[in-house]
Structure 1
Amino acid sequence: MNLHPFPLLAGLCLAALGLPAQAAGSKLLLTGGVSSIDGAAGGGLTPWALTGSYAGPGEWGGSAFVTAARTSDYGLRVAGAAVAWDERLEFSIARQRFDTRQNLAPLGLGGLQLEQDILGAKWRVAGDAVLDADRWMPQIALGALHRRSQAGAFAPTLFGPLGARRSDTELYAAATKLWLQHSLLTNLTLRATRANQNGLLGFGGAQDRRWRLQPELSVALLLAPQLALGVEARAKPNALNRSVLGTGALAEDDWFDAFLAFAPNKHLSFTAAAVDLGRIAPALQPRRQRGAYLSVQLSF
């Protein structure tokens, strides 16, 4: 099934704009996280147990975002939106577009664009990050991300001899703990996944079709009510490391970032980050892909 995310994005944004006035709600600044590259609320690389927007108990909220990232050899653009209800449910959608530029020209794939559509759902099952800030109990949520990749001219190889799947659904559990007295937030996410390079290179491979449970960690320090500084680490399954292209040709590494999030008010936030994404497919001069991203989010 082909997803058509941009009409859905527009619908979600319009729905968010039509939410009741209380939707800019009762939560503290930055306690809804920011939009991850997959559309779910959290950090830039990983979902948290928090639901997006500032909707509190009995309230609706919505958000929309755009993100642009640039590394040594590649570029990534993401657009997405989410709606949340009652600090309990979140539904999100995102489209990713990965530009390989001319780095795959030796393989006859110059200018290749990899795209991915992502539908997400998150359900808070226990705890409240703010109300339980003086207890040991974290906020806990379960989530799912359904992904479908479009590999352009690389598709016959990726979904043929390499044995990757075109679509798959990831499941995750996230635990987020807010330590208000220390102005600190910590998060642990466990993701069951077969995604290659976050799904941009499909899911699994001919030599490795197993689900992997991958940990993801986030730590954020509130420097001021409107400003947070944090780091993230995200483990990757590396299912295409052994393939018909040779061991290591499509290897992937864990991802890391250090981010700064600024929210001048409850309707607008900016996130800037330095990222290290390791190896991402064979560039002309294979090297770790380090760079930066900037994300802008509107909340309603």
Structure 2
Amino acid sequence: MTRHSRPGARKTLTLQLSASLALAMGLNLAQAAQAQTLPRPKSMEPDSGKLLATGGVTQVEGAGGGGLTPWALITSYGTEDSYGANAFYTVVRTQDYSLDSRGAAVGIADRFELSFANQRFEGSKAPLNNLVIRQDVVGAKLRVAGDAVYAQGSWLPQIAVGAQYKRNKGVAGLEALGVSKASDLGAKRNSDTDYYVSATKIVLDQSLLWNLTLRATRANQFGLLGFGGDKKDRYEVMPEASVAYLINRKLAAGVEYRAKPRNLGLDNEKDAYDAFVAWFPNRNVSVTAAYVNLGDITVLNPTRQKGWYLSAQVGF
């Protein structure tokens, strides 16, 4: 019986092998066809694909936005599949003081922003004519909702959260008064972090941009006079606002407002505001000029500090 069953067994084995081979070939062909239809992963490269002027300019503390306040927009012109970076230099001059700020920022996937700014603040009128204060600002911003440009049919603005760590590097020129750091002026600390949330909306058919920022801060004069003071030492939520009109594709004009806390007995601090014009000749360059009012700065020169602001930004 064993000899008579061998031809049938061989036939069955042959059929099983043929079926297995056909199944394997079918799977291989299916996998090859699927590989042909699946999109290849994109390599992230700078594309400068955002609309002109929608990268904003660089705020005095390094963040993408206006001159005084950050916006929810991510710096540079890189889209969600790309990245971009900017370098900036800003000069502010009032009758008694000057502020120079320089730095760089990078935007990644139109979602995340990192920035750095180095500030130098100087006095030009006695008794503060030898005053020099330096400060570093490291910032981060994350877009969490909305799209200011492409969600034109939605009421939801673009929303971002951010933080700015500020380190006051000391006070020079007041050694005769026993002052060498911000805490010698009554500040509670020489470094601190601001936290903020920004909402930005661009209405293209009206050529209008508006922004509202709420900042939790203890900074005195943006941190140049330290953080906290003899009057109070707690985080306060300060409003900041911007409105801009896009005159044409390359030119925008607007106003900004920034509230500031009043922590120091030595400094009768006032809110700041500006009126600006920003020019965007192309995606690599922008220039912003403004009239600025920084309010009073210290009781030693109790004068409203009014002057001009000029900022240049280059990048991709």
TM over 0.5: yes
The alignment status of 1:29 with 2:68, answered yes or no, reads: no
CA–CA separation in structure 1 for the residues paired with 2:235 and 2:44: 43
Match of 1:288 among 304, 308, 312: 304
Distance in 1, matches of 2:76 and 2:182, equals 37
Q: Tell me: CA distance 1:145–1:157, structure 2 relative to 1, closer, same or farther (3 Å).
A: closer
Asked if residue 298 in structure 1 is aligned to residue 302 in structure 2, the reply is no
How far is 1:21 from its partner? 9.5
Matched, 1:120 2:139: yes
Measured after TM superposition, the shift of residue 38 of structure 1 is 0.4
- Give the whole-Å Cα distance in 1 for the aligned partners of 2:86 and 2:70: 15
Q: Which residue of 1 aligns with 2:26?
A: none
The Cα offsets for residues 48-79 of structure 1, whole Å up to 9 and x where unpaired, read as 00010001111010000000110111111000
Structure 2 spans left out of the alignment, 5+ residues? 1-42
The correspondence for 1:85, drawn from 108, 112, 137, is 108
Contact 2:80 2:110 in 1 (8 A): yes
Distance in 1 separating the partners of 2:216 and 2:284: 33
Shift in Å, 1:137: 1.0
Q: CA deviation at 1:157?
A: 6.6
Give 1:39-78 correspondences, 5 Å limit. 39-78=62-101
* Among 183, 196, 215, the residue aligned to 1:172: 196
Aligned to 1:201: 225
Q: Secondary structure at the match of 2:46?
A: helix
- Identity over the aligned pairs, expressed in percent? 50
Matched residue, 1:141: 160
One-letter amino acid of the counterpart of residue 229, structure 2: G
The question of whether the paired residues in 1 share the 8 Å contact of 2:195 and 2:216 is answered with: yes
Deviations 1:261-280 (A, max 9, x none): 00100000000000011101
Report how far residue 23 of structure 1 moved.
1.9
Confirm or deny: 8 A CA contact 1:78 1:95 kept in the other structure: yes
Matched, 1:215 2:234: no
Please, which of 296, 300, 305 is the counterpart of residue 279 of structure 1?
296
**Match for 2:280: what amino acid?**
A
User: Do the aligned partners of 2:134 and 2:168 also contact (CA within 8 Å) in 1?
Assistant: yes
Q: CA deviation at 1:134?
A: 2.7
The structure with the larger Rg is 2
Q: Which residue of 1 aligns with 2:23?
A: none
Structure 1 counterpart SS, 2:78? coil
TM-score normalized by the length of structure 1: 0.86
Deviations 1:201-241 (A, max 9, x none): 0000133111100000000000000000010000001111x
Compute the TM-score of the two structures, normalised by the length of structure 2: 0.82
CA contact (8 A) 2:187 2:226 kept: no
User: SS of the residue aligned with 1:159?
Assistant: helix
* Residue pair 2:170, 2:181 contacting (<8 A) in 1 also: no
- What is the CA-CA distance between 1:283 and the residue it aligns to? 4.7
Distance across 2 between alignment mates of 1:46 and 1:179? 19
- Give the CA RMSD over aligned residues: 1.6
Q: Distance in 1 between matches of 2:68 and 2:116?
A: 15
The farther-off stretch of 204-213 and 191-200 is 204-213
Q: Name whichever of 213-222 and 143-152 sits farther off.
A: 143-152
User: 1:260 touches 1:271 (CA, 8 Å); kept in 2?
Assistant: yes
Is there any run of 5+ residues in structure 1 with no aligned partner, and where? Answer: 1-19, 243-248
Query: Is 1:230 paired with 2:254?
Result: yes
Shift of 1:161: 6.5
- Cα distance, 1:161–1:261 mapped onto 2, change above 3 Å: closer
Count residues in correspondence.
Answer: 269
